[in-house]
């Protein structure tokens, strides 16, 4: 079965927001062995959408549309699809009841324009939306089926999982058994990593791999299809073992998990606590850590010491130290880590200081240092360690990469030391 995705929204075409729906749908369908042949983004214009549908219907057996089935004037998907299929829109009474009950329970009044969402192309199958007012629908034209889902991500995901994927599996009869392994790394460039992986994995019609880079993290996804489960697991086990042996400590996880969740497991398993001091990342490290459920068991708190005065007053970093070495230095980073640990009374202190740009930092010493220079320090068992990093990109890019670097530095520093607590 060939599947094409169409995302509706002028805001997507103009780049005002990013499409989060199509990448997720494509990923899930690919994992199930289906072929996603194309992805089109169309504006809120009926003629443009019909043009996209015509092209898609010539390539695909199934078209999945997200967006444009809401209550406003620029939601034109249902009208355009009905016109493309040469059918009229009809009112679905169950959808009317659902909309009135949902809107009434929230606002205690009727919104007439919302009833627009109860209209579907004649002959369609309704796809129930449990959390929103916009039901989806499935309609057929010629040899192609068209599925329309809301653009609201949370609603789309639930409808995809509850109805669309089971429908595709039931109707296609083409599901391939696919087995996938993911290895996450930090600290090695994608090009160098790919060169090493190429020595291990020899892709063919059944075996493939891909790499994905995000904020310094490089993930390797290996996929094997049309192979029995026992044999597939044996092959993937051997590949995974070879890759991990080749990459060593650059590998932080053999599962689909984040650096912060890996850190959380280490701290939780060893019953140790953490305090964080941040400068250039402005609290991003603490934010990442507290995104993990149960982080309150080990993360005691953080200090965003953006100014020198806060470093001096809250972290006990001496003014003389800052003047001598500069605020962007290994010496100050170590003092911050030690200060956070002592002030918050945690087992371990983590600190980060650097220049996120686009300009430098005030001070005779720091003024000479380049944008993207970052120092990460740890205070573990009274041992102070610091690592220097150089990042490039925008201010936001540097902050995100620096935050992940801080977490990875903490991971590496903890290796072999937690037993001493």
Q: What is the 3-state secondary structure (H, E, C) of the chain?
A: CEEEEEEECHHHHCCCCCCCHHHHHHHHHHHCCCEEEEEEEECCCHHHHHHHHHHHHCCCCEEEEECCCCCCCCCCHHHHHHHHCCCCEEECHHHHHHHHHHHHHHHCCCCHHHHHHHEEECCCEEECCCCCCCCEEEEEECCEEEEEECCCHHHHHHHHHHHHHHHHHHHHCCCCCEEEEEEEEECCCHHHHHHHHHCCCCCCCCEEEEEEEECCEEEEEEEEECCCHHHHHHHHHHHHHHHHHHHHHHEEECCCCCHHHHHHHHHHHHCCCEEEEECCCCCHHHHHHHCCCCHHHCEEEEEECCCHHHHHHHHCCCHHHHHHHCCCCHHHHHHHHHHHHHHHCCCEEEEEEECCCCCCCCCCCHHHCCCCEEEEEEEECCEEEEEEEECCCCHHHHHHHHHHHHHHHHHHHHCCCHHHC
pLDDT at residue 206, rounded to an integer: 84
Say yes or no to pLDDT of 359 above 50.
yes
Mean pLDDT across 232-240: 93
Predicted confidence band at 113 (pLDDT cuts at 50, 70, 90)?
Answer: low
Say yes or no to pLDDT of 420 above 50.
no
Mean pLDDT across 186-215: 91
pLDDT at residue 111, rounded to an integer: 57
- Answering whether pTM is above 0.85, one says no
Q: What is the architecture of the domain spanning 2-172?
A: 3-Layer(aba) Sandwich (3.40)
Predicted confidence band at 11 (pLDDT cuts at 50, 70, 90)?
Answer: very high
Say yes or no to pLDDT of 393 above 60.
yes
Mean pLDDT across 250-267: 93
pLDDT at residue 367, rounded to an integer: 76
Q: Which of the pair, 367 or 230, is modelled with greater confidence?
A: 230
pLDDT at residue 98, rounded to an integer: 82
What CATH topology corresponds to 178-253? Alpha-Beta Plaits (3.30.70)
pLDDT at residue 72, rounded to an integer: 85
- Return the CATH class of domain 259-420: alpha beta
pLDDT at residue 385, rounded to an integer: 95
**Mean pLDDT over each residue of the chain, to the nearest integer:** 90
Could you read off the pLDDT of 80-111 as tens digits, one per residue? Answer: 999 999 999 999 888 888 887 877 645 444 55
Predicted confidence band at 319 (pLDDT cuts at 50, 70, 90)?
Answer: very high
Q: Which of 18-32, 150-164, 171-185 has the lowest mean pLDDT?
A: 171-185
Say yes or no to pLDDT of 419 above 50.
no
pLDDT at residue 268, rounded to an integer: 95
Predicted confidence band at 174 (pLDDT cuts at 50, 70, 90)?
Answer: low
pLDDT at residue 382, rounded to an integer: 81
Domain ranges for the chain = 2-172, 178-253, 259-420
pLDDT at residue 363, rounded to an integer: 67
């Amino acid at each position: 079965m060939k599947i094409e995705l169409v995302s509706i929204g002028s805001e997507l075409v103009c780049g005002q927001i990013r499409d989060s729906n199509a990448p997720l749908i494509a990923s899930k369908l690919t994992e199930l062995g289906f072929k996603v042949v194309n992805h089109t983004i169309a504006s809120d214009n009926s003629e443009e959408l019909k043009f996209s549908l015509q092209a898609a219907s010539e390539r695909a057996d199934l078209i999945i549309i997200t967006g444009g089935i809401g209550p406003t004037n620029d939601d034109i998907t249902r009208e355009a699809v009905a016109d493309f299929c040469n059918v009229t829109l009809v009112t679905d009474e169950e959808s009317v009841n659902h909309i009135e009950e949902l809107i009434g329970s929230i606002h205690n009044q009727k919104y007439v324009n919302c009833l627009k969402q109860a209209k579907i192309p004649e002959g369609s199958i309704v796809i129930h939306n449990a959390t929103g007012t916009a039901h989806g629908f499935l309609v057929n034209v010629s040899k192609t089926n068209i599925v329309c889902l809301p653009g609201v991500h949370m609603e789309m995901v639930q409808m995809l999982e509850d109805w669309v994927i089971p429908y595709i599996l039931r109707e296609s009869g083409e599901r391939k058994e696919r087995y996938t392994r993911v290895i996450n790394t930090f600290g090695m460039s994608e090009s160098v990593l790919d060169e090493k992986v190429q020595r291990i994995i020899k892709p063919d019609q059944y075996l493939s791999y891909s790499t994905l880079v995000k904020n310094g993290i490089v993930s390797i996804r290996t996929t094997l299809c049309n192979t029995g489960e026992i044999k597939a697991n044996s092959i993937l086990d051997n590949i995974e073992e070879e890759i991990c042996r080749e990459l060593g400590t650059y590998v932080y996880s053999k599962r689909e998990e984040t650096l912060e969740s890996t850190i959380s497991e280490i701290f939780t398993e060893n019953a140790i606590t953490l305090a964080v001091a941040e400068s250039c990342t402005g609290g991003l490290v603490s934010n990442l850590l507290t995104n993990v459920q149960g982080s309150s068991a080990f993360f005691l708190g953080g200090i965003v010491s953006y100014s020198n005065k806060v470093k001096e007053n809250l972290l006990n970093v001496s003014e003389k130290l800052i003047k001598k070495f500069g605020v962007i230095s290994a010496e100050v980073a170590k003092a911050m880590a030690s200060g956070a640990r002592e002030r918050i009374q945690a087992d371990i202190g983590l600190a980060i200081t650097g220049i996120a740009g686009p300009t430098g930092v005030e001070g005779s010493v720091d003024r000479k240092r380049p944008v993207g220079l970052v120092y990460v320090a740890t205070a573990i068992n009274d041992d102070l360690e610091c690592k220097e990093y150089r990042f490039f990109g925008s201010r936001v890019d540097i902050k995100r990469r620096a935050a992940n670097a801080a977490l990875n530095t903490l991971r590496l520093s903890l290796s072999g030391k937690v037993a001493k607590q």
